[in-house]
Structure 1
Amino acid sequence: MNRALRFAAVGVVAVSLLAGGSAAAFAAPKDLHSPAPIVATAPAAATLTAKASATTVNAWQEFRISGVAKGITAGTKVTVQQKQGVKWVSLPAQSPVNASGSYSVRVKLGLKGVNQLRIGAGSTVSPVVTVTVR
């Protein structure tokens, strides 16, 4: 009986050692048989630049806002937006992006004073351009 008890105790100790920390010593390394991880890269964010041809104009005098659209498909229309109070309002001034990624929009403003403008294409917007109308 003493002998059977010893074998049982040795068996319990061996199982607990294998189930615990020393089991990892007998296991294959995790990265030995797994494929290399695939890293997905996000597409570059779309950007717009904007520059006005004049910083001061008379009311209803035409000027241009031009710039470069990166990450935006050729033919996509860019729209002039004007800050009115706390909201940005799209004006009826649009132009398509050409094959080289540039655009040029003709603009006429009648709202006298300092006008904050930007170019928008979907959720992408340019930095603000300021034009004063006299």
Structure 2
Amino acid sequence: MIVSQRNSMRLAAVATLGALLVGTAGTAMAAAPTAPAATPTAATPTAAATISAKPSVTTVQAWQLFRVTGTTTGLTAGSTVTLQQKQHGAWVTLPASVHTAHNGSYSLGVKLGIKGQNELRIVSGSVASPVFAVTVR
């Protein structure tokens, strides 16, 4: 008897929630405009996204800390920017990333160990900065 009452109460609760959800969906559908909106939505970017990057030095010793700073436009605040290095003709993502500030700026600490001229860039999603070089001695 107790089990039957529990099942009945669960069924009633599920039915009530289902009716509320159907009522909400029906209201939302009735309120939706019939013509497509002519203005861009918030998800549509208004300008092309860009990233700038500038190293604090152009020559460093192996594993010496230096900074790459820059700004982003067209990306949301808090976006992750990551350092990539060209190795054997392919871009390799390095374990160096940081979130952008509210104004789109960032400052990333970097240590490189591959000696010679290193081609680097900063990326966020499909947006990349211009390539810059740092020589490691």
Indicate yes or no: 2:94 matched with 1:91.
yes
Instruction: State the TM-score, normalized to the length of structure 1.
Output: 0.69
CA-to-aligned-CA distance 1:71-123 (integer Å, 9 cap, x gap): 11111110000000111000000011000110011000000000000000000
CA contact 2:122–2:128 (8 Å) conserved in 1: yes
Ranges in structure 2 where 5+ consecutive residues have no aligned partner: 1-37
The match for 2:79 is: 76
The match for 2:11 is: none
Q: 1:45 aligns with which of 48, 51, 73?
A: 48
Instruction: State the TM-score, normalized to the length of structure 2.
Output: 0.67
- In the TM superposition, residue 126 of structure 1 has moved relative to its aligned partner by 0.0
Deviating above 6 A after TM superposition, structure 1's stretches of 4 or more consecutive aligned residues are 39-42
The whole-number CA distance in structure 1 between the counterparts of 2:60 and 2:90 is: 23
Change (3 A) 1:42 1:105: closer
The structure whose Rg is larger is 1
Secondary structure in 2 aligned to 1:73?
Answer: coil
Query: What is the number of residues matched between the two proteins?
Result: 97
Secondary structure in 1 aligned to 2:117?
Answer: strand
The whole-number CA distance in structure 2 between the counterparts of 1:98 and 1:42 is: 19
CA-to-aligned-CA distance 1:39-65 (integer Å, 9 cap, x gap): 869621100000000000000000011
The match for 1:55 is: 58
Letter in 2 for 1:117: L
CA contact 2:45–2:74 (8 Å) conserved in 1: no
Indicate yes or no: 2:56 matched with 1:66.
no
Q: 1:127 aligns with which of 119, 125, 130?
A: 130
The match for 1:24 is: none
Letter in 1 for 2:60: V
Secondary structure in 1 aligned to 2:47?
Answer: coil
Aligned-residue Cα RMSD (Å) equals 1.5
Letter in 2 for 1:48: I
